[in-house]
Structure 1
Amino acid sequence: MDFDSASRTRSVAALLTLSGGFLDAFTYVGHGGVFANTMTGNVALLGIQIAAGDWARAARHIPPLIAFVFAVFVVHLLRLDAFAASVRRPALVCLLLEIAFLSIAASGLVGDSDVWLIPGISFVATLQTLSFTHIENLTYTSVMTTGNLRRAAKKLLEAFIPSYDRIALHEASLLGMAGFCFFAGAVFGGVTTRMLHDGALWLAVLLLVAALVQIGRLVRRREDEAAARSYGE
């Protein structure tokens, strides 16, 4: 099992989606009602606050939108042939960058200014969702939930109508798990942010490190199994 295959497992997707919900709750609860990941929410709130003439609050939603677009550009560049030789595992690079950034933010060594914190979180979270795009063979997103829930409902219907479909039911369970993990992460993030404020980010770091460790463990286990089979032959 290579890095890409290991990153598609249910356990890794659960940890990444927990972190996605956590970060949305963290920025919304702890940093002025701005979403880290949910750009739909930011666009809606931007429009609502502009309509109300609340320009100061509206402006808070613009930096994460810019960071989101910038992250899309970065991931696209990493996948170009010009970078392929030097960046062999862009998903791993993005995950390590996210862990590093959140660790710095959680440490408080450089302050907690929203000027860099919120767009920074949006940037690394977008790197995450664009780098880890599958549970098994299904596409999903680890930092928002609308698409996951819509497709889970569709797969659940397909599992029973017009006839029983075991594969569709399995796929519905995977996408439903992603939706639940995002919800659980948001609950966890909301509670701990009220208790620990920016220190709560250490918990998001732990979730991401756990995902990284799980990927490494799965890769090593498959290598050991392959070596054992080779030795047996």
Structure 2
Amino acid sequence: MDLDAASRTPIVAMLLTLSGGFLDAFTYVGHGHVFANTMTGNVALLGVNVATADWAQAVRHIPPLIAFVFAVFVVHVLRLDALARSVQRPAMVCLLLEIVFLAVVASGMIRIPELWLISGISFVATLQTLSFTHLENLTYTSVMTTGNLRRGAKRLLEGLIPHYDGAALRDAMLLGMASFSFFAGAVIGGFSTGSLHDHALWIAVLLLVGAFGRIVQLARHASVSA
């Protein structure tokens, strides 16, 4: 099992989606009702704020959208042949970058202005979701849940109608687990941010370190067994 195969396991997906839900709740509760990951929510809230002429709040939703687009650009560049040979294991590099950034914020060693904090979280979270795209043989997202719910519901119906399909039901279970993990992460993020504020990010750091460690552990175990 290589690192890519190890990153597709259910436990890794669960840890990543827990952190995804956590980060959305963290920025929404603790930093001005702005989503870190859910760009659909940011666009919708931006539209509402523009409609109500709440310009100060509307502006807050723009930086994470810019950070999202920039992260897409960075991942695209990392996958180009010219860089692919020099940047080994870009997915793990992106995950490590996310861990370091969140740890710096959680520690309070460097005071980051809120504008840059939210944009930074959006950037590293987007790197995460673009780098880890598969749960076993399924495509999924670790920082949003709409697509997971849609695909999970579709596979559930395919597993029951017109006849029983065990493989489809297993897919539905996996995608349901990812969706619930996002929800659970949001609950944890909502509770912890209210009491710990930025220090609550240590929880997200632990989740991501757990995912990183699990990927490495599975890959090493597979190489030793081989």
> TM-score band, normalised by the shorter chain?
over 0.9
The letter for the 1-side match of 2:209 is: V
Q: Distance in 1 between matches of 2:30 and 2:51?
A: 24
TM-score using structure 2 length: 0.99
Q: Hey, what's the Cα distance between the residues in 1 that align with 2:202 and 2:146? A: 26
Residue 171 of structure 1: CA displacement? 0.4
For 1:56 and 1:207, how far apart are their aligned partners in 2? 33
Partner of 2:149: 149
Equivalences for 1:88-107 in 2 at 5 Å?
88-107=88-107
Q: Which residue of 1 aligns with 2:191?
A: 191
Regions of 4+ moved over 3 Å: none
Q: Does 2:133 correspond to 1:171? A: no
| Cα displacement (A) at 1:13 | 0.3
Structure 1 letter corresponding to 2:80: L
The amino acid that maps onto 2:225 is E
Equivalent position of 2:206 in the other structure: 206
Question: How do residues 45-56 of structure 1 correspond to structure 2 at under 5 angstroms?
Answer: 45-56=45-56
Find the counterpart in structure 1 of residue 125 from structure 2: 125
- 1:21 equivalent in structure 2: 21
Q: CA deviation at 1:112?
A: 4.2
Of all paired residues, the percent bearing the same amino acid is 73
Separation in 1 of the partners of 2:108 and 2:57?
A: 24
Secondary structure of 2:93's match?
helix
Paired residue for 1:69? 69
Letter in 2 for 1:45: L
Q: Take 2:152 and 2:72, find their aligned partners in 1: how far apart are those partners?
A: 26
Give per-residue Cα distances to partners, 1:103-137, cap 9 Å, x unaligned: 11111122142121000000000000000000001
Amino acid at match of 2:48: I
Structure 1 regions of 5+ residues with no counterpart?
A: 227-233
- CA distance in 1: counterparts of 2:168 and 2:88, whole angstroms: 34
Separation (CA, whole Å) in 2 of partners of 1:166 and 1:172: 10
Aligned partners of 2:218 and 2:57: how far apart in 1? Answer: 45
Equivalent residue, structure 2, for 1:82: 82
- Residues 172-224 of structure 1: CA deviation (Å, up to 9, x unaligned): 01100000000000000000000100000011000000000101110111112
Q: Structure 2 regions of 5+ residues with no counterpart? A: none
3-state SS in 1 of match to 2:32: coil
Q: How many residues align?
A: 226
Secondary structure in 1 matching 2:67: helix
Secondary structure in 2 aligned to 1:197? Answer: helix
Task: Tell me, yes or no, if the aligned pair for 1:28 and 1:34 is still in contact at 8 Å.
Answer: yes
